């Protein structure tokens, strides 16, 4: 059965850093592209992010981090998503994430990592093309 | 500056030129855009003439350097006498690593220190707190106790260097630790010089590293202003910061207006505390960004000085000219740096640094070319410092004071910046002041809208960023070496913290914390109590915890 509901996206800020300019711009661009966007606000723990994803029944999670703590926090988020059975949620990330960390993060099932300067159109297209099919 | 007759003649001639020479040329070579605007959205004319500054009165509006309204600079001889302070923002890993970086930068010719703390420190968490996991020493140096601070300044005599500390919520604790290190070095308190950022208001809408609610945060800012006025005469208690406002997405105009407004709020809160304006205003300092639009930035710095001088004189009736000085630190704009083709960032930084110097800054940080990718390597930071040294010693721009004064364009833009900033200030006054505007989400919305507009312009190529949306390289290999923080730093830091907690006199710690709790509840100035506490190795996290208990925690107002 094809669902007609809007794509629901959670834009989340794990870690202690407060650089939310990118997260907010992406949130707004996805919203302008017709998606339903929930933004968590700053400094969310992995537990809080996964809880919100569950409560809000999202299709997609975008993680934004610029503090360098992605290697400590992303694995925990992905593990919690599995534990909660949210394996059909598509996860992408953005921020300052060194090239050499990307293969490791993709192994965790993070679908894509966007660096600084990525056009919002690229992110919108990516979400549209990779949106998980819901039944 | 011109008589009416002359202005009329220029006007007639300009109109003639617009009807004859311009269209003729435009037929051959059309202009690239239908209209030209700067980042603040101001319409930029094809050419500026004396008509645009016809109302300017030289003695009233410009005056001489070192005299009211300080448009041309706060000092009479500016860089002919003393160059700006070359102050590179630095900090990563453990206190030992950052101490080494500090010494390296001093050896290479920087003239002031500037400390970057890691996120746990900035948020008032000790390195062993659960929220600190994975963040210790990553974006700055980890400081949990006086022990770390002693190591950070080991071998650096505090009477011979000034230090800026980018710290806001926990500013009382870090200043207390700095004072304690000074006491250990037997440096008299009147010789301790430096700056605590301590601008808590902008945290709520720009940098967003807030711990406590707005009123308590301003109370802490004011504690430091009051304490320094009485006990640390060479300390700048607050660095009223536009930099973060700009980096969050504001335009130059919004940066200027909101920063000045925060300054007004601190002057008011300190006067309410019972101080006279001339007891403290001369130590207030400012911090701005220098972005890409060269003349817009220069106009902003110049307008800021004149506007602040007028506000201090007319709104706060200060008598001391030094209270009217806007002394500023400038940092080139981090958000303009691109990850692709990182070496291009050297050029950007040079232009931005030059704008800051032509704008008359007292202190400057230049970003390193690798900072869209990582914290700077030693090589990258050296190039950034050398950029300032080249401007200072080779370009000749330091030979005269305020060399762009009198430029029709620069003066017209300076006036426009000031007028439009005043309109914002009036609007915020009408809203009931800075805290009311924060609670309404006014600043947040203004900034978010500008940030989104800027990104759209880049996405739609209305704004060209070299190497990012034009002149790109396909499949670029990263051409530079990146700095990685050794994950061992977190472990080493936690081990040291635990050792401090074991070896300190825990009876004294308990007493100090009880005293702090009492002083916080009684709404006393916390600086003396915090200094006592850090001296017996009460940690940053323990002190913040007491304040969190009494003040509560700030809950973010989300504005997209």
Q: What pLDDT score does A135 carry?
A: 52
- Does A133 or B373 have the greater pLDDT score? B373
pLDDT digits 0-9 by tens, B36-51: 999 999 999 999 999 9
- In the structure, how many helices (H) and strands (E) does chain B have? 20, 9
Q: Do A25 and B484 touch (CB under 8 A)?
A: no
pLDDT digits 0-9 by tens, A55-109: 999 999 999 999 889 999 999 999 999 999 999 999 999 999 988 899 999 999 9
Question: Which residue of chain A has the CA closest to B138?
Answer: A68
A119 to chain B, any CB pair closer than 8 A? The answer is yes
Burial label for B63, CB within 10 Å (0-12, 13-18, 19+), is: middle
Under a CB-based contact definition with an 8 Å cutoff, are residues B340 and B473 in contact?
yes
Interface test with A, best of B120, B134, B336 (most A CBs within 10 A): B134
Question: Which residue of chain B has the CA closest to A23?
Answer: B560
Q: Do B134 and A73 touch (CB under 8 A)?
A: yes
Q: What pLDDT score does B441 carry?
A: 96
* Backbone angles phi and psi of B32, in degrees to 5: -70, -25
Q: What pLDDT score does A2 carry?
A: 52
Locate CATH 3.20.20.240 in chain B: 71-457
Q: What pLDDT score does A133 carry?
A: 77
How far apart, in whole angstroms, are the C-alpha atoms of residue B496 and residue B149?
Answer: 12
Q: What pLDDT score does A79 carry?
A: 97
How far away is chain B from the Cα of A2, in angstroms, using its nearest Cα?
A: 31
B477 to chain A, any CB pair closer than 8 A? The answer is no
How far away is chain A from the Cα of B100, in angstroms, using its nearest Cα?
A: 22
Average pLDDT over residues B453-476: 94
How far away is chain A from the Cα of B146, in angstroms, using its nearest Cα?
A: 23
Query: B116: part of which helix (H) or strand (E)?
Result: none
Fold of A8-129: Rossmann fold (3.40.50)
Residues of A in contact with B459 (CB under 8 A): 119-121
- pLDDT cut 90: percent of chain B above it: 96
Domain B71-457 has CATH 3.20.20.240: yes
Q: In Å, what is the CA distance from B49 to each residue of B38, B293, B299, B402, B412?
A: 19, 21, 17, 19, 9
DSSP state, B59? Answer: I
Of B338, B455, B478, the CB nearest to A99: B478
Sequence-ordered list of residues with C-beta below 8 angstroms from that of B30, at least 6 positions apart, any chain? none
DSSP state, B61? Answer: I
- pLDDT cut 70: percent of chain B above it: 100
B494 to chain A, any CB pair closer than 8 A? The answer is no
A116 to chain B, any CB pair closer than 8 A? The answer is yes
How far apart, in whole angstroms, are the C-alpha atoms of residue B91 and residue B174?
Answer: 14
How far away is chain B from the Cα of A60, in angstroms, using its nearest Cα?
A: 18
pLDDT band at B438 (very low <50, low <70, confident <90, very high): very high
B553 to chain A, any CB pair closer than 8 A? The answer is no
Mean pLDDT of chain B: 97
Average pLDDT over residues B443-463: 96
How far away is chain B from the Cα of A127, in angstroms, using its nearest Cα?
A: 17
Q: Do B122 and A16 touch (CB under 8 A)?
A: yes
Q: Where are the beta strands (DSSP E) in chain A?
A: 8-12, 36-39, 60-65, 90-95, 110-114
| pTM reported for the whole predicted model | 0.95
Q: Do A72 and B458 touch (CB under 8 A)?
A: no
Average pLDDT over residues B547-554: 97
A102 to chain B, any CB pair closer than 8 A? The answer is no
Q: In Å, what is the CA distance from B356 to each residue of A118, B249, B296?
A: 29, 19, 11
Q: What pLDDT score does B169 carry?
A: 97
Q: What pLDDT score does B154 carry?
A: 98
Q: Is the pLDDT of residue B495 over 50?
A: yes
Q: What pLDDT score does A1 carry?
A: 47
Q: What pLDDT score does B110 carry?
A: 95
Cis-peptide into B507, omega within 30 deg = no
Residue that has been written with the tokens 């009408």 in this structure: B430
B77 to chain A, any CB pair closer than 8 A? The answer is no
Q: Is the pLDDT of residue B386 over 90?
A: yes
Q: Do A68 and B138 touch (CB under 8 A)?
A: yes
Domain ranges in chain A are 8-129
Interface test with A, best of B125, B138, B248, B541 (most A CBs within 10 A): B138
How far apart, in whole angstroms, are the C-alpha atoms of residue B324 and residue A35?
Answer: 50
Q: What pLDDT score does B208 carry?
A: 94
Average pLDDT over residues B251-263: 98
Average pLDDT over residues B249-253: 98
Q: Is the pLDDT of residue B58 over 90?
A: yes
Per mean pLDDT, which range of B348-357, B482-491, B492-501 is the poorest?
Answer: B482-491
Average pLDDT over residues B62-87: 98
Average pLDDT over residues B551-555: 96
A24 to chain B, any CB pair closer than 8 A? The answer is yes
Average pLDDT over residues B154-169: 97
A71 to chain B, any CB pair closer than 8 A? The answer is yes
Sequence-ordered list of residues with C-beta below 8 angstroms from that of B109, at least 6 positions apart, any chain? B86, B385, B389
Q: Do A20 and B131 touch (CB under 8 A)?
A: no
Question: Which residue of chain B has the CA closest to A115?
Answer: B339
Q: Do B338 and A117 touch (CB under 8 A)?
A: yes
pLDDT digits 0-9 by tens, B295-322: 999 999 999 999 999 999 999 999 999 9
Q: Is the pLDDT of residue A134 over 70?
A: no
């Amino acid at each position: 059965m094809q669902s007609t509901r809007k794509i629901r996206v959670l834009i989340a800020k794990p870690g202690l850093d407060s650089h939310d300019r990118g997260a907010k711009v992406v949130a707004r661009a996805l919203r302008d592209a017709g998606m339903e966007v929930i933004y968590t606000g700053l400094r969310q723990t992995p537990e809080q992010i996964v809880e919100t994803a569950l409560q809000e029944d999202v299709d997609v999670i975008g993680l934004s981090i610029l503090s360098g703590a992605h290697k400590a926090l992303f694995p925990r988020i992905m593990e919690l998503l599995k534990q909660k059975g949210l394996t059909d949620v598509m996860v992408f990330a953005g921020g300052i994430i060194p090239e050499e960390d990307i293969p490791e993060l993709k192994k965790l099932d993070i679908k894509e990592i966007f660096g600084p300067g990525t056009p919002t159109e690229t992110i919108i297209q990516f979400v549209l093309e990779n949106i998980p099919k819901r039944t | 500056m011109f008589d009416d007759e002359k202005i009329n003649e220029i006007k007639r001639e300009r109109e003639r030129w617009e009807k004859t020479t311009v269209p003729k040329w435009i037929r051959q070579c059309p202009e690239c855009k239908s209209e030209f605007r700067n980042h603040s959205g101001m319409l930029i004319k094809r050419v500026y003439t004396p008509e645009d500054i016809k109302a300017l009165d030289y003695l009233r509006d410009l005056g001489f350097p070192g005299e009211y309204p300080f448009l041309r600079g706060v000092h009479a001889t500016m860089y002919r006498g003393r160059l700006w302070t070359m102050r590179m923002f630095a900090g990563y890993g453990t206190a030992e690593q950052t101490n080494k970086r500090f010494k390296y930068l001093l050896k290479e010719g920087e003239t002031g220190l500037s400390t970057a703390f890691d996120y746990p420190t900035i948020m008032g968490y000790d390195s062993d707190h659960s929220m600190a996991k994975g963040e210790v020493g990553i974006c700055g140096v980890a400081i949990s106790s006086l022990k770390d601070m002693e190591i950070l300044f080991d071998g650096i005599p505090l009477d011979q260097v000034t230090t800026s500390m980018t710290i806001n919520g926990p500013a009382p604790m870090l200043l207390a630790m700095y004072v304690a290190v000074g006491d250990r070095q037997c440096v008299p308190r009147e010789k301790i010089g430096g700056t605590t950022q301590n601008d808590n208001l902008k945290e709520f809408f720009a940098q967003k590293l807030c711990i406590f609610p707005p009123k308590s945060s301003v109370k802490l800012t004011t504690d430091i202003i009051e304490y320094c006025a009485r006990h640390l005469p060479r300390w700048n208690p607050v660095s009223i910061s536009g930099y973060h406002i700009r980096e969050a997405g504001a335009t130059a105009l919004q940066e200027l207006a909101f920063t000045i407004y925060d300054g007004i709020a601190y002057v008011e809160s300190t006067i309410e505390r019972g101080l006279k304006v001339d007891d403290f205003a001369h130590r207030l300092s400012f911090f701005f960004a220098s972005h890409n639009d060269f003349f817009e930035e220069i106009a902003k710095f110049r307008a800021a000085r004149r506007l602040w001088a007028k506000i201090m004189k007319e709104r706060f009736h200060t008598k001391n000219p030094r209270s009217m000085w806007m002394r500023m630190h400038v940092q080139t704009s981090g958000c303009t740096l691109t990850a692709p083709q990182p070496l291009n960032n050297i050029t950007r930084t040079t232009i931005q640094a030059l704008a800051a110097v032509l704008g008359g800054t007292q202190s400057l940080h230049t970003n390193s070319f690798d900072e869209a990718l990582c914290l700077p390597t030693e090589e990258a930071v050296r190039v950034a410092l050398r950029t300032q040294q080249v401007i200072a010693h080779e370009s000749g721009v330091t030979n005269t004071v305020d060399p762009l004064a009198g430029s029709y364009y620069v003066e017209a833009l300076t006036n426009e910046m000031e007028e439009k900033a005043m309109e914002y200030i009036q609007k915020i006054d009408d809203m009931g002041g800075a805290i009311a505007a924060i609670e309404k989400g006014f600043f947040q919305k203004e900034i978010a809208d500008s940030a989104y507009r800027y990104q759209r312009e880049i996405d739609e190529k209305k704004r060209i960023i070299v190497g990012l949306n034009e002149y790109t390289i396909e499949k670029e290999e990263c051409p530079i070496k990146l700095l990685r923080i050794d994950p061992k730093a977190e472990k080493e830091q936690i081990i040291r913290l635990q050792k401090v907690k074991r070896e300190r006199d825990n009876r004294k710690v308990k007493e100090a914390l009880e005293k702090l709790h009492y002083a916080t509840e009684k709404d006393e100035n916390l600086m003396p109590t915090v200094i006592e506490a850090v001296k017996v190795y009460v940690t940053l996290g323990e002190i913040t915890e007491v304040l969190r208990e009494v003040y509560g925690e700030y809950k973010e107002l989300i504005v997209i």
